[in-house]
Amino acid sequence: GEDVEQSLFLSVREGDSSVINCTYTDSSSTYLYWYKQEPGAGLQLLTYIFSNMDMKQDQRLTVLLNKKDKHLSLRIADTQTGDSAIYFCAGSISSGSARQLTFGSGTQLTVLP
Amino acid sequence: DTGVSQNPRHKITKRGQNVTFRCDPISEHNRLYWYRQTLGQGPEFLTYFQNEAQLEKSRLLSDRFSAERPKGSFSTLEIQRTEQGDSAMYLCASSRPLGYSGNTIYFGEGSWLTVV
């Protein structure tokens, strides 16, 4: 099955850019997602990228996809303290008609004032 | 969209008791998913419904777990004879039918289960 790996921790200064990295193993993943989770809360969908795209930008968020290396990154510009959370990368497995997600273990982003 | 709604948000139960969680998906979303998340880990897929049909079940879903979606709208997840290892957050998610852009999957706030 799919494996998704992320670095566990990232600290940045407020106002700097954050880059969260993710690698995945299943080259047939059709969609790749980024979710944000604040303490004690559910998952908030941030953005997604279709596998035939290299880049997607959405306001302060930029997603880069390198299919050859199976590497996905999320860049947050002008990082704010409110961005402190756990960020999950997830890949979709096409399994019949299901679109299950396989998640990484999450990257804890800490934004320092 | 009112979002995916789950309740109860928190449940503490004694080992051996049964618990039931409810999920109300976003209206017009015909697909509904249950995931489980333990501390320090990402969510893991448990099961998936398309309308009222349960189409996929993970090997994580032991025979003590049962999920239903009787009318294709809300869903329940019941855990019988709870064990301490069942302590986790149970997340429900929903999505539109295939073919919609991104097939984005929206999650609820989760239901925390603590088995003591």
Return the HEC string of chain B: CCCCEEECCEEEECCCCCEEEEEECCCCCCEEEEEEECCCCCCEEEEEEECCEEEEECCCCCCCEEEECCCCCCEEEEECCCCHHHCEEEEEEEECCCCCHHHCCEECCCEEEEEC
Q: Is the pLDDT of residue A28 over 90?
A: no
A91-104 mean pLDDT: 70
- pLDDT one-digit tens code per residue, B65-91: 999 999 889 999 999 999 999 999 999
Q: Is the pLDDT of residue A97 over 50?
A: no
Instruction: Find, in chain B, the residue whose alpha carbon is nearest to that of A102.
Output: B44
**Which amino acid is present at B19?**
V
| Res A96: pLDDT | 46
CB spacing of B50 vs A101 below 8 angstroms: no
Q: Is the pLDDT of residue B103 over 70?
A: no
| Res A50: pLDDT | 84
Q: CA of B15, closest CA in chain A: separation in Å?
A: 23
Cα–Cα distance, B33 to B43 (Å, whole number): 11
| Res B1: pLDDT | 53
B25-35 mean pLDDT: 92
B55-72 mean pLDDT: 92
Spatial contact of B73 and B24, defined as CB atoms under 8 Å apart = yes
Asked if A94 is an interface residue toward chain B (Cβ–Cβ < 8 A), one would say no
* Residues in chain A closer than 8 A to B102 (CB atoms): 31, 48, 50
Cβ-Cβ contacts under 8 Å between A and B: the total is 65
CB spacing of B91 vs A42 below 8 angstroms: yes
Choose between B104 and A35: higher pLDDT: A35
Percent of chain A having pLDDT more than 70?
91
What does each C-alpha distance from A92 to A4, B34, B59, B100 come to in angstroms?
A: 11, 15, 18, 15
A69-96 mean pLDDT: 89
- pLDDT one-digit tens code per residue, A15-27: 999 999 999 887 7
Spatial contact of A64 and A57, defined as CB atoms under 8 Å apart = no
For residue A23, give the nearest of A70, A64, A65 by alpha carbon. Answer: A70
Secondary structure (3-state) at A44: strand
A56-79 mean pLDDT: 94
Phi and psi at A82, nearest 5°, equal -70, -10
Choose between B110 and A31: higher pLDDT: B110
